[in-house]
A and B are shown apart, each in its own frame.
Chain A
Amino acid sequence: MERKTVIDAEVGKQDLVITREFDLPLELLFKAYEESEIVEQWMGTKVLKLENKRHGSYQFETTDPMGNKHRFNGTIHEFILNQKITRTFEIENSPFAVQLEFLEFVQLTDDTSKLTMHVIYKSVALRDQMLALPFAQGINMAHNRIQDIFNKLK
């Protein structure tokens, strides 16, 4: 069964909800957010800091195909094992304001789980800009995919 990611973004609202069902037990899904080396693998980022605890913080760094480095960071407000993570997220040196993210992890069966990510932006306009970002970067993303395929062929 194909488990698709669903985006619920109502027109005129400053939040959105991302939901995804995983073919993974709850503990494994949560672990993907818990351990730095695993986060690095699936996010494709370098983890500079990841303090998974209340009042902890994190900082990630990605390198785009042009070799430019982009950093992201945030504060972890709540970290409840196998249940939820509440955190902020901001792109460093960008005009985008910080956003608030509520991540909830739920067990569906022994082998499946669900992640619900509720993201709140500073304004409706900002949410729409963030939604449009991958659309605008579509060409870059296509390049990344070609690069990925190319790397696998090496």
Chain B
Amino acid sequence: MVAAQSMTAGAIASNFDTARPTVSKHLQILTECELLEQEQNGREISYHINAKKMKEVGDFIEPFRKMWDDRFNKLESVMKKYKSKK
């Protein structure tokens, strides 16, 4: 949702079946983690996504994936050689 546009806490909460304070708490945590950024518009605070930080979180898993990918690539090439030897 917030990837497409900036949204106020109220607008975000209206999309969930959860109590408003719970949503506020989640927004606060996501903001503290810098995954969301706040923007003050008069009385309202709107939230938008911090794309750079989101990418860092994605990258955090990438070395783990790469480790398995390398391992499985090796398995595939070892077995292809094994097959051709037979």
Using a CB–CB distance below 8 Å, which chain A residues touch chain B? 3-7, 9, 18, 20, 22-24, 28-29, 31-32, 38, 41-44, 115, 130-135, 137-138, 141
Contacts and interface: CB of A to CB of B under 8 A. Distances in A.
Nearest to A130: B64
5 contacts: A6-B65, A22-B79, A32-B75, A131-B61, A135-B60
A134 B79 contact: no
Contact of A141 (B67, B72, B83): B67
B21 interface: no
A141 B64 CA distance: 11
Contacts of A29: 75, 79
Contact of B80 (A4, A24, A43, A133): A24
B78 A42 contact: yes
A131 B78 contact: no
Contact of A32 (B60, B62, B67, B78): B78
B82 interface: yes
A41 B72 CA distance: 11
Interface string B54-79: 00000011111111110110111011
Contacts of B69: 4-5, 20
B65 A5 contact: yes
B72 A5 contact: yes
A133 B64 contact: yes
A41 to B, nearest CB: 5
A131 B82 CA distance: 32
